[in-house]
Structure 1
Amino acid sequence: MEHEAIVYEVMYASAVSLFMVLTTVTLHYWTLAGLSALLKRWKRFRGEILLVVITMFFAHMVEVTLYALVYLVLDRGDTAMNLAGAVDGSFLDHLYFSAACYTSLGLGDLYPVGTLRLIAGVEALNGLILITWSASFAFLVMQRRWRF
């Protein structure tokens, strides 16, 4: 019976991870697509790179917050799936942990236990991809608009 419970937990964490990747990638895509369309309309907007950076930062914070909500909902306070370390169970703890995972900072004062480790690992990979995507977008905007 214990083996079946572990398989269920891994499948559940995998499904949650897949859902979060699809959600955050879609959110990021539509943010950058909307930003791109806006910049095409504003051909002579001098603060374009500032708008790009602020908008992308906001998108990343929304994505980190979505992962934090998932951690808060899934944190059962047992060894199957929870956060451990210097944690009091607040949303702020989960937000902090999510930001550390998303940015691949991994400080270690809070750490996942059980199959929550799978979701945290996927968040790190997802964050790396989305941050790189944002950097590439910002580079293209600067390259296209700031000719020297």
Structure 2
Amino acid sequence: MMADSAVMSEVVFASMVSLAMVLTTVTLHYWALAGLSALLKRWPDFRGEILLVVMVMFVAHMVEVTLYAWVYLILDQGDTAMNLAGAVDGSFLDHLYFSTACYTSLGLGDLYPLGTLRLIAGVEALNGLILITWSASFAFLVMQRRWRF
């Protein structure tokens, strides 16, 4: 019974971390795109709009990936059931690389999560997919509105 209770508390903890990260990254992404939209409305004749859109979205995605990497680094400390395994040396770069692989749904497999860290990694993949498609939709709308052929 004690083991089941410990596993359940880890699952609840990982679920709360995942929810917090989704709320944080979706809010960050919303503000990035809303700010970008407001800026483009003020500059109706700006010719480099799609370049600006792509650059701002790339920076937003990198910030989101980095936030997940910090979570992985913090959770991957000591004797916990939430560790990265594989060709990992414990550096921030390893965690950033793993986060990028999860966020983009690339999932290379040379680094992999153990325990309930798998839940957070899975949620990051879904979160990244949603945010990447949101960015693509935004870029499409900007191009459709401004690049009439």
Q: TM-score, normalised by structure 1?
A: 0.98
Structure 2 residue 133 is matched with structure 1 residue 132? yes
Aligned residue pairs, count: 148
Q: Is the 8 A contact 1:103 1:128 kept in 2?
A: yes
Q: How far does residue 79 in structure 1 lie from its aligned partner after superposition?
A: 5.9
DSSP-derived class of the 1:114 partner: coil
Residue 65 of structure 1 corresponds to 66
Q: 2:144 corresponds to which letter in structure 1? A: Q
Q: 1:33 corresponds to which letter in structure 2? A: A
RMSD: 0.8
Q: How far does residue 124 in structure 1 lie from its aligned partner after superposition?
A: 0.0
Residue 121 of structure 1 corresponds to 122
Gaps of 5+ in 2: none
User: Residues 85-141 of structure 1: CA distance to partner in whole angstroms, max 9, x if unpaired?
Assistant: 000000000000000000000000000000000000000000000000000000000
Q: TM-score, normalised by structure 2?
A: 0.98
Misfit runs of 4+, over 6 Å: none
User: Residues 1-47 of structure 1: CA distance to partner in whole angstroms, max 9, x if unpaired?
Assistant: 11111001000000000000000000000000000000000000000
Structure 2 residue 18 is matched with structure 1 residue 17? yes
Structure 2 residue 66 is matched with structure 1 residue 56? no
Residue 35 of structure 1 corresponds to 36
DSSP-derived class of the 1:80 partner: coil
Q: Is the 8 A contact 1:77 1:83 kept in 2?
A: no
- Among all aligned residue pairs of Structure 1 and Structure 2, give the percentage whose two residues are the same amino acid: 86
Gaps of 5+ in 1: none
Q: 2:3 corresponds to which letter in structure 1? A: E
DSSP-derived class of the 2:107 partner: coil
Q: 2:77 corresponds to which letter in structure 1? A: R
